[in-house]
Each structure stands twice: as C-alpha cells, then as structure tokens.
Amino acid sequence: MKHYILGAVSAVALVSAAQAQDSLVIGHALSPTSHYGVGAQAFLDTLAELSGGTFTGEQAPAGQLGGERDMIEGLQIGSLDLVITSTGPLGNFVPEVLALDLPFLFRDYDHARSVLDGEIGQELLDAMGGNDLVGLAWSENGFRHVTNSQRPITTPEDLGGLKLRTMENAVHMAAFEGMGAAPTPMAFPEVFGALQQGVVDGQENPITVITASRFWEVQGYVTLTGHVYSPAVVLASPILFEGLTEEQQGWFMEAARASAAATRAEVDRLEAEGVDLMRANGMEVITEIDRAPFQALAAEAAWPVYTDQFGTALLERILAVE
Ligand code: EAX
C-alpha cells in the first residue's frame, strides 16, 4: 500500500511540475506596480531567462487569490505555485519566524538585510521546510508606521483607544495593546474598506504599502514610528518545488534572489520619495518623535510572546549582527 501511495504522490508531483512549467502563478497582496509587483516581475523575467523560456508565468496581484494567510495555505496544498508575502501571518505557520516581527528589534535597513542575508536568515528559510513551505529568499516590506483618521500621533497616549488594524500576528497585537491601542487583526485585502467605513480608525504599514495602497484617500495622519521592521519572503509550494530537477531548483532560488534585490531597490526609492508623496496627497506626516516611550511599552508587551516560547538566544544573535 505504501508503495502505491508513494507512486501516486510522485505522479502528482511530476504532473504538477510539468503543468507548472508554462503557467506559473506568483501571488501577492499589493498592486502590480508596488515593491512586491516589481519583485514578482523580476522573479518571472529572471526565471524565464535562466530556463531558456521553459518556465513562464504571471503575477496574481492585489489579493486576487486572498490575503497572505490564504495564499500561504494555498502553497501548502499546492493550489498556488509561489507567493511574495510579509512575515505578518507567517508566524502562524512557522512560529520561529515571529522573532523577526518583534517591535524595535532591527536598528535599520542595513541591520535587517545583514541578518536576513546571513546564517540567521538561512536558518529561518530552512525552518519553512518543516511546515510544508519552501523558503526561496528573504525579500522586504519595510519599517512600519502608524496611520489613522482621528488625530496626530506623537506619544503612546495618543494611541489610547484607537481601533487599529494589525496583521494576523500575535506579536504585533500584543505590541499595540501594550501601547494603549485597540488592535484588530485583519487580512490586507479588507483593510482599505474597513478604514473607509470607519470599522477601524487606523492601521500600520511601511511607506511602500501606504503609497501603493493610496491610504491617503482614507487616512489623514501618519507618524513615522518605525515600530517594526517587516520582512517579506519569496515562498514556493513544496509540491511544485520537489517536482523540479536540482538545476531547475537552482534557477528558482536565483530568480527569488533577483526578486528580492528588485523589491529592496524599490523600497529604497519609495523610502526616499514617500514622505513628499504622502504630503502631496494631503496627509499630515509626523517624522520626528521620541520613540523611547513607544519602544518601552511595545517591547515590554510583545517580546515575551516570542521569548516565553523560544527564549532570547536568537534575539541576542540578531542584535549582535553589525
Ligand atoms: O505584505 O498585511 C499587511 O499589512 C502587509 O504589510 C501587506 O499585506 C504587505
């Protein structure tokens, strides 16, 4: 019986890989021209070039295939080939990854990129394998900031009672409870409508997402809290990936690295231009605040969500990276 089942699974994997060769789909939650869209196109272009046109496909942007949690589940069951996603919901599938979502852990972009491109990043990509996912490369979403429709935020007290959408992430929810807000977890495709209808007062995202999503249409205020560095990751379905030859798998990993480089370059561009763009579209942008009280409250509330389960060893390694 066991041989029969193994035979069937192999056959499915081979058929899936054959079918996938000319119709790959890479899903993500943002617009086709966003930093994820740029990364998705770089992935497809690089893979087509490396494979001599054997592997082609298209991006499924703007949450067409659901929120990030839905798309990650699609990878696990093989209904989706590839995804570019933030780590927001990923901790529900790969708990070790929650370390990366801790508030005020990463000093700046250079620090975050050094950690993710080094041995720690590779260890966490490898950990995806035990959870029916294939981590191809670390990409980037950006440092997250708070937007809202009610008032300028300059101190944690200003967050008091604010209904704030967060990702489906226990660390982020704890952080905002600690800072005095009322966190509401929600999949990204629902966020713009919830802000428009006043279901929530605010949300938090990097400048890249705020600008790509034109949040200025529903949010009057943004404060550059930079409370969390939000990684993104290029993931593949194991059902697709395990049906590939070793050479083909190498093409996918190289294409994922090219995707990440393109996304990071777009993040750098938008970080430089984003404040002016948000102001030009009517947002009151507060760039200078005392982050210490935000950090004290957020870290005290959120870090134990991770350290109670995994301890502090990985965090000490991350903090030690130059
Ligand atoms: O990954 O859900 C979020 O706020 C994410 O930042 C967004 O989907 C991009």
Closest approach atom of ligand 1 to CA 67: 8
Q: Which residue's alpha carbon is at the smallest distance from atom 6 of ligand 1?
A: 205
| pTM as predicted | 0.93
Q: What is the rounded CA–CA span in Å between residue 228 and residue 159?
A: 16
With b for 16 or more beta-carbon neighbours within 10 A and e for fewer, the 10-42 pattern comes to eeebeebbeebbeebbbbbbbbbebbbbbbbbb
Per-residue model confidence (pLDDT) at position 21: 56
Question: Ligand 1 pocket check: which of 69, 191, 230 to mutate, most ligand atoms within 8 Å of Cβ?
Answer: 230
Amino acid at 102: L
Assigned token pair, 109: 């972009």
Q: Which CATH number fits domain 12-320: 3.40.50.720, 3.40.50.850, 2.60.120.10, 3.40.190.170?
A: 3.40.190.170
Q: In this structure, is the dihedral angle defined by the CA atoms of residues 277, 175, 128 and 307, taken in order, positive or negative?
A: positive
Question: What three-state secondary structure class fits 155?
Answer: coil
Per-residue model confidence (pLDDT) at position 2: 38
Q: Which residue's alpha carbon is at the smallest distance from atom 1 of ligand 1?
A: 86
Q: Which of the residues in the chain have pLDDT under 50? A: 1-6, 9, 15-20
Residues with a CB atom less than 6 Å from ligand 1: 29-30, 68, 86, 88, 141, 167, 188, 205, 209, 230
- Residue ranges of domains in the chain: 12-320
Closest approach atom of ligand 1 to CA 86: 1
For residue 208, how far is its CA from the centre of ligand 1 (angstroms)? 10
Q: Can you state the angle between helices 119-128 and 109-116, rounded to 10 degrees?
A: 60
